[in-house]
Structure 1
Amino acid sequence: MKNVTTILVMIVLCFISCKKEVKTETVTTKDSDSIKTEEPIAEEPVDSATQMKAWQAYATPSDAHKWLTEEVGTWSCDMTFWYEPNSKPEKATATATVKMILGGRYQETDYKGTIMGAPFEGKGTVAYNNASKEYTNTFIDNMGTGMMVSYGTYDEATKSMQMKGEVVNPVSGKKAPYREVYTIVDATTRKMEMYDTKNGTEYKSMEIIMKKK
């Protein structure tokens, strides 16, 4: 694994060395026309050893990836949906198969079940970005053509991950915010809650209780 990471880092460094990075800065002139111009300002040079160290840290799974690895396995999902605020809940079930991919850098989950009598399939990924120090969650399924993307952080004290993103309403075509809370209840139980916003008010739209088989 270390050899593969080192090779990847060397490729990146070779690419970087072939181009000169510059920053731009807006400068306002003092002439009568007050024209604004942008002048390139060279970045401070970084030696190759420092660059390699940074890229190795970026490419290597960290402690933040450990709890993602602990979720590998098969889970039964008891799902509850609320399609409108204070509406009657709808129930569904699914099975989630979790695995780590690309050398333990990303978590991938495949969902299969039935929702409202129709076959349901979905795929989710979770990544922890060592550089930005945040998690990214993506989700796609066979009940739409869009991808849900959210970003957030994990709180060790509450054993929960708070994620925020936007989703497009297929009826109005407009984007609306949503929020996810993913909680590690115990070693074999997880809870995922989703909150949508309608008419400016947030409401709970989904809850999934996951039990490891």
Structure 2
Amino acid sequence: MKKVATALALITLCFISCKKEVKTEIPTTADSLAVKTEEPLIEETVDSAAQMKAWQEYATPGNPHKMMADEVGTWNCDMTFWSEANGKPEKATSVAVIRMILGGRYQESDYKGTMMGQPFEGKSTLAYNNASQEYTTTFIDNMGTGMMVAMGKYDESKKSMELKGEMVNPVNGKKTAYREVYTIVDPKTRKMEMYDVKNGSEYKSMEIVMTKK
């Protein structure tokens, strides 16, 4: 891991040292004189030791990754769906197998079950970014061709994580906001709630209660 961090730091140093000044030509026409040019962003100089330390901290798993590792194992998932606010709930079940990958830096989950009478498969990833200090989750499945991506933070007092993202509605092709709330109920129980927006109002569209085997 230290070798990887060192290599990344050296690449960054080479990139900074090799940058050349780019001369900006002064517009000569009347129309071009009205165009304002942005001043180049000047980055603060950081010495090599500080850069290497920053990369090492960025690459080293911490307590949030240990929390994700606590979920490694097989989980039974009781799934409930709603197509609209106060609508009739639809039920489904699946089994999730959770593992840590890439040296304990990311969590990967594979879901298999039955949904709407059809075989269901899904895959999710969860990451904690040491630099931004926030979580990112992704999800793909065999019920579509898109990827859901949401970001957010964990609230220790509530034992829950709120993540927000956007998805494309396949009916009208427009982006719509969604929100996930992931709660650690107890060591062997997790609850994931998803909220969609319909007709300008947010409603609960899905709930998954996960029980560890």
Compute the TM-score of the two structures, normalised by the length of structure 1.
Answer: 0.90
Distance 2:212 2:41 in 1: 54
Q: What SS does the aligned partner of 2:71 have?
A: coil
- 2:9 pairs with 1:7: no
- 2:176 pairs with 1:180: no
**Where does 1:55-74 land on structure 2 (aligned, <5 Å)?**
55-74=55-74
Q: What SS does the aligned partner of 1:40 have?
A: coil
1:178 shift after superposition: 0.4
What does residue 17 of structure 1 align with? 13
1:44 shift after superposition: 2.6
1:35 shift after superposition: 4.9
Q: What SS does the aligned partner of 2:83 have?
A: coil
Q: What SS does the aligned partner of 2:49 have?
A: helix
Task: Name whichever of 8-17 and 118-127 sits farther off.
Answer: 8-17
Map Cα deviations across residues 84-111 of structure 1 (whole Å, 9 max, x no partner): 2211100000000000000000000000
Map Cα deviations across residues 152-209 of structure 1 (whole Å, 9 max, x no partner): 0001111000000011000100000000000000111111000000011000000001
Residues 79/18 of structure 1: CA separation in 2 closer, same or farther (3 Å cut): same
Map Cα deviations across residues 118-157 of structure 1 (whole Å, 9 max, x no partner): 0000000000000001000000000000000000000111
Distance 2:143 2:45 in 1: 50
What does residue 51 of structure 2 align with? 51
- 2:199 pairs with 1:203: no
What does residue 94 of structure 2 align with? 94
What does residue 121 of structure 1 align with? 121
What does residue 166 of structure 1 align with? 166
Distance 1:42 1:156 in 2: 37
Which amino acid letter does the alignment assign opposite residue 202 of structure 1? E
1:14 shift after superposition: 2.0
Q: RMSD over aligned Cα, in angstroms? A: 1.8
Q: What SS does the aligned partner of 2:37 have?
A: strand
What does residue 27 of structure 1 align with? none
Distance 2:133 2:185 in 1: 23
What does residue 28 of structure 1 align with? none
Distance 1:86 1:59 in 2: 45
Distance 2:130 2:184 in 1: 22
1:41 shift after superposition: 5.3
1:67 shift after superposition: 1.1
What does residue 85 of structure 1 align with? 85
Distance 1:148 1:35 in 2: 39
Residues 46/166 of structure 1: CA separation in 2 closer, same or farther (3 Å cut): same
Distance 1:41 1:166 in 2: 30
Map Cα deviations across residues 22-41 of structure 1 (whole Å, 9 max, x no partner): 9x9xxxxxxx9565233435
Which amino acid letter does the alignment assign opposite residue 88 of structure 1? K
What does residue 29 of structure 1 align with? none
Q: What SS does the aligned partner of 1:16 have?
A: helix
Which amino acid letter does the alignment assign opposite residue 52 of structure 1? M
Distance 1:177 1:125 in 2: 20
